[in-house]
């Protein structure tokens, strides 16, 4: 969706987690990432990211088109 390689995203996320800006938690094979509520600038950063996201219409469209859950194994594509 963002047009960057997976490895680059993983490196960025690792750096942010090392700096305690984000926290992540594994759910099976999926990893969920959130802003760290204990980060000193949590609230202003969350507000800034929200405002940036509101302005990115292409990203909003891509997110709306993306499935929220994986398709059940064996289920037809139709």
Per-residue pLDDT of the chain (78 residues; tens, 9 = 90+): 778 999 999 999 999 999 999 999 999 989 999 999 999 999 999 999 999 989 999 888 888 887 666 667 776 655
| Structural domain includes residue 70 | no
The residues, any chain, with a CB within 8 Å of residue 23's CB and separated by 6 or more, are 17, 33, 34, 35, 36
| Structural domain includes residue 74 | no
| Structural domain includes residue 39 | yes
| Structural domain includes residue 78 | no
Question: Taking the model in full, what pTM does it have?
Answer: 0.71
pLDDT at 77: 57
| Structural domain includes residue 71 | no
Q: Give the count of domains, the chain.
A: 1
| Structural domain includes residue 73 | no
| Structural domain includes residue 75 | no
pLDDT at 10: 94
- Which residue segment(s) compose the domain that 53 sits in? 6-65
pLDDT at 78: 52
Gap between the Cα atoms of 32 and 17, Å rounded: 12
| Structural domain includes residue 47 | yes
């Amino acid at each position: 969706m963002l047009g960057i390689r997976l490895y680059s995203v993983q490196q960025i996320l690792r750096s942010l987690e090392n700096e305690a800006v984000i926290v992540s938690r594994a759910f099976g094979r999926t990893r969920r990432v959130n802003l760290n509520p204990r980060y000193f600038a949590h609230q202003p950063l969350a507000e800034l990211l929200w405002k940036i996201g509101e302005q990115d219409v292409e990203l909003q469209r891509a997110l709306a088109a993306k499935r929220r859950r994986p398709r059940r194994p064996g289920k037809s594509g139709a």
